[in-house]
Amino acid sequence: MKEQMKEQISQSFWNKRIVVILGALFCCFLWGSASPAIKNGYSIFGIEAGDTAGRLLFAGMRFIIAGIMVIGYESIKEHKVIVPERGAWKKVFALSVFQTSAHYFLFYLGLAYTSGVRGSIINSVEIFISMSLAVWAFKTEKMTVRKAAGSVLGFLGVVLCITGGSFQQVLSGGFRIEGEGALLASAFMSAMASNLIKKIAVKENPVTMSGWQFLTGGITLTLIALLMGGRLSMQSQLGIPLIIYMGFISAGAYTVWSVLLKYNPVSTVSILGFMNPIFGVILSIIFLQEESEATSLVVLLALILVSLGIVIVNRKPKE
C-alpha cells in the first residue's frame, strides 16, 4: 500500500506540464553541452587532433564515472546493488559496443576535426536514423507521411550543415571522413543503440542495463587506450570538475529522461528534443567562441530545418 502511494505521488509530480518541460529542457541542455565540453576537454587534457589513444582514455574515464553514477543512483533507490540477470550480460555487452564504445569513439574522433556547432547539428541526425531503423530494420514503428516529411527536413538540415550550401565545398575539403564522416557513423551507432534498448527494455530494466553498459563500455575504452599508450596531461585544475560533469551529462540526462518517459507519452517528451541542437549551438558560441559560424545564414537555416524535423517527427497526430 505504501509503495502504491509513493508511485501515485511520483506520477502526479512527473505528469505536471511544467515538470515535463523543465525536465526535458534540463536533459537537452546536458546533451547539448557535450560537444563544447569535449572540445574544451581536449585543450584542458592536452589531447591533440591525432592523439587517438588520448581521446579513447578521455572517453573511457567519462563513461566509467557515468556508469558508477547510474548504478549508484539506482542501487540507492532500490535499496540493493543492481546487477543484470545472468542471461542479460550478453545484452549489456552488445549495448556497450553500440551505445558507448563505437558510438563515442567515433563521436570524439569527429569532434577533433570539426567545430562544436557542426558537431551539434550533425549529431541530431541520430533521431531520424533511429526512426528509419525502427521502421525498416526493427519493424517497431510504421512509416507515416508526417514522419517521412520530418525526416526529409531533418536530413536536409544536416546535409546543408555539412555542405555549407555548396557541394563544391565538400569536394574542396569541406567534408572530412575523420570529422563529419565519423560524426555520421557515430549517429548511426547511437540510433542502433536506441532501438536495441527499446527492444531489450521489454524484458530488462533499462536503467540497470544502461548503467552497466556505460561502465563496461568505459572500461573497454580505457583498457584499449592504455594498451595503445594513452596518457592525459591535465593543463588546468578545471579538468577534474569537467570530467565529473561529463559523466553526469550521460548519467543525469539519461535518468531524468527515463523517468519522464515512464510517466508521460513518448511524443510529449520527445518533441522537446528539438532543443538539443539549439543548446549545442548556443553553448558552442559561449564556450568555444564559434559565433561567426553559428550566426551564418547557412548554419541558421540548417538548425531551423533540423529542429523543425524533430518536432514534426515527434508530434502526436490528432485523434
> Which pLDDT band, with edges at 50, 70 and 90, does 122 fall under?
very high
Interval 255-262 mean pLDDT: 85
Interval 268-279 mean pLDDT: 89
Could you give phi then psi for residue 296, rounded to 5 degrees? -70, 150
Could you give phi then psi for residue 159, rounded to 5 degrees? -60, -40
Say what the pLDDT of residue 53 is: 95
Residues 211 and 74: beta-carbon distance below 8 Å: yes
Say what the pLDDT of residue 162 is: 87
User: Does 69 have pLDDT greater than 90?
Assistant: yes
To the nearest whole percent, how much of the chain has pLDDT over 90? 65
User: Does 70 have pLDDT greater than 80?
Assistant: yes
pTM of the model: 0.89
| 171-216 pLDDT per residue, tens | 455 688 899 999 999 999 999 988 888 888 778 888 899 899 999 9
Higher pLDDT, 179 or 261: 179
Residues 139 and 203: beta-carbon distance below 8 Å: no
Q: How many CB atoms lie within 10 A of CB 259?
A: 17
Interval 276-292 mean pLDDT: 95
Grid cell at residue 85: 540477470
Q: Determine the Cα–Cα distance for residues 210 and 204; give it in Å rounded to an integer.
A: 10
Residues 110 and 182: beta-carbon distance below 8 Å: yes
Q: Determine the Cα–Cα distance for residues 277 and 273; give it in Å rounded to an integer.
A: 8
Say what the pLDDT of residue 171 is: 45
User: Does 22 have pLDDT greater than 70?
Assistant: yes
Q: How many CB atoms lie within 10 A of CB 37?
A: 20
User: Does 170 have pLDDT greater than 70?
Assistant: no
Q: How many CB atoms lie within 10 A of CB 244?
A: 14
Of residues 250, 239, 168, 181, the one with CA closest to residue 211: 250
The residues near 167 (Cβ < 8 Å, ≥ 6 apart) are none
Interval 160-169 mean pLDDT: 74
Q: Determine the Cα–Cα distance for residues 31 and 26; give it in Å rounded to an integer.
A: 9
Q: What is the mean pLDDT of the chain?
A: 89
The DSSP call for residue 40 is H
Say what the pLDDT of residue 93 is: 93
| 216-232 pLDDT per residue, tens | 999 999 999 999 999 99
Grid cell at residue 267: 511524443
To the nearest whole percent, how much of the chain has pLDDT over 70? 93
Q: Determine the Cα–Cα distance for residues 296 and 272; give it in Å rounded to an integer.
A: 24
The residues near 205 (Cβ < 8 Å, ≥ 6 apart) are 74, 82
Q: Determine the Cα–Cα distance for residues 93 and 196; give it in Å rounded to an integer.
A: 12
| 1-12 pLDDT per residue, tens | 666 766 677 777
